[in-house]
Amino acid sequence: MEDQRNLFNRWFVTPLSMLQSLPNGDGGFIALATCFFLYERYAKALQKKNRVKADTSTLVTQLAKDFDTDRKSAEVFWSVVRDGILHQGMPKQRNQGKKNLPGYILHHSFSKPFELVDWGGEPAIKIQPWCFVWKVVELCEDNFEILVENNSFPFPKVM
């Protein structure tokens, strides 16, 4: 497992640190996107370990728990930011052509990884990318054993 931890550091922690060093916070968006798939790997592995089906509802519940937030904020964050970025490269603003979703604001000065707020009379999700990024890295490091047990998507062996 030490080799896998080394790979995790080389492929995720070090590049994320480099992205954080970019001026104007320019690396935050890509780091946020990267950490969504890391978070999902962790959350699905945790659900599997607990013998719980890893559907969207349970993943959102886990997100709310891990980030000490309310379920509504976690649902909006998952739908707008996670679904949008991982499926189309930008946060989602409409649900299948139906109603508008809450907007989003990314900024380094926010104190929480994400939070649903009223922004000028409209709902919006405030995002501090680096708070989210480093919390996800911490969750992965603290639960590394379950991350590497994934037989469908195993860590590679590098020769």
Q: Above 60 in pLDDT, residue 159?
A: no
Has residue 153 been placed in a domain? no
Number of domains, the chain: 1
In one letter, which amino acid is 75?
A: E
For 89-99, the pLDDT digits (tens) are 777 777 766 67
pTM of the predicted model, to two decimals? Answer: 0.89
Has residue 21 been placed in a domain? yes
Has residue 131 been placed in a domain? yes
Has residue 16 been placed in a domain? yes
Q: Above 80 in pLDDT, residue 79?
A: yes
Q: Above 70 in pLDDT, residue 2?
A: no
Give the whole-angstrom CA distance, residue 104 versus residue 20. 20
Has residue 135 been placed in a domain? yes
Give the whole-angstrom CA distance, residue 93 versus residue 103. 7
